[in-house]
Amino acid sequence: MRWLGMVVVGACAAVGAARAAGVGDTYPPGSITNREQAQKALDAARAADQEAETAYRNEMQRCATVFLQNQCTEDARRALGAKKHELRRVEIEAREVKRRLDAEDRAKKRMESEAKRQSEPAPKPVPEAGAPEAKRQPGAAPKAVPDDAARAAEQAERDKAAAANRESYQQKQKAHAEVEAKRQANEAAQAEQRAENVKELEEKQRDAAEYAKKKRREDRRIERERLQKEREEQAKKNSTQPTQ
């Protein structure tokens, strides 16, 4: 039944590797653009990280049963490192998207609040408590009540100020959107470059592992040939010695 346990362990390791690779394929650099995607990416990365850890432990148990144990454990560590590197890329990008969106929401609320405050008319001054009220002198004419034209002119001034505030707010929003678009483009380019660097590193690691494997095979072949030659020379020497 030992072989069956080794098959199960190998299958678990393969599932963990597939999940980690699947997260990187599902969320390539620059693909996370909203808060929902960012949260799903974080959840998927955390689940894949746990599975990768489990697969690594299972693989280490399997390595304890193979002939080339050191090489097996080294391959397992390298595979885990590559998986975690890709998962960290997804996590960093998702957290950065959430942080940026939160900052945009806060900036938008501040600008809306400021625009609303500026569009509201200034409050009328309230007489201080205890201040004597002005008395109308006998014979003085009552204070004139603003007519419709004056009220209309005042309202027009308020509407003009509100329109100016709205225009200023829209210009700020436009400028902010342009800055964010440039920043996102730069981040996408940087993320793409990081992905290329990761891919290049993985290719180098695969090439190094393949070279090491070939080197070990060549060393074993040379050692076998050396032992065979020694045996042949010993047999030849024994055959030439006179019998007692």
pLDDT value, residue 50: 93
C-alpha closest to that of 61 among 47, 83, 76, 45? 76
At 31, the amino acid letter reads: S
5-34 pLDDT per residue, tens:
443 344 444 444 556 668 888 888 888 989
pLDDT value, residue 59: 92
pLDDT value, residue 116: 82
Q: Classify residue 147: in a domain, yes or no.
A: no
Domain count of the fold of the chain: 1
pLDDT value, residue 14: 46
Q: Classify residue 144: in a domain, yes or no.
A: no
- What phi and psi, each to the nearest 5 degrees, are found at residue 55? -65, -35
pLDDT value, residue 91: 92
- Report the alpha-carbon distance of residue 71 to residue 130 in Å, rounded: 93
Q: Which residues of the chain register pLDDT less than 70?
A: 1-21, 121-146, 242-244
Q: Classify residue 142: in a domain, yes or no.
A: no
Angle at which helix 148-240 crosses helix 69-119, to 10 degrees, equals 170
pTM of the model: 0.43
- Report the alpha-carbon distance of residue 44 to residue 51 in Å, rounded: 11
pLDDT value, residue 10: 44
The residue assigned the tokens 């072949």 is 221
Q: What's the chain's Rg over C-alpha atoms?
A: 39
Q: Classify residue 13: in a domain, yes or no.
A: yes
Q: Classify residue 127: in a domain, yes or no.
A: no
Q: Classify residue 14: in a domain, yes or no.
A: yes
pLDDT value, residue 194: 82
Please give the DSSP secondary-structure letter assigned to residue 241.
S
Q: Classify residue 244: in a domain, yes or no.
A: no
Please give the DSSP secondary-structure letter assigned to residue 32.
-
The residue assigned the tokens 């959107």 is 177
pLDDT value, residue 213: 87
Supply the range of the domain harboring residue 68.
Answer: 2-118+155-235
Please give the DSSP secondary-structure letter assigned to residue 228.
H
Whether 90 and 41 have beta carbons less than 8 Å apart is answered as yes
Q: Classify residue 105: in a domain, yes or no.
A: yes
Q: Which residues contact 174 (CB under 8 A, 6 or more apart)?
A: none
188, two tokens: 């996408």
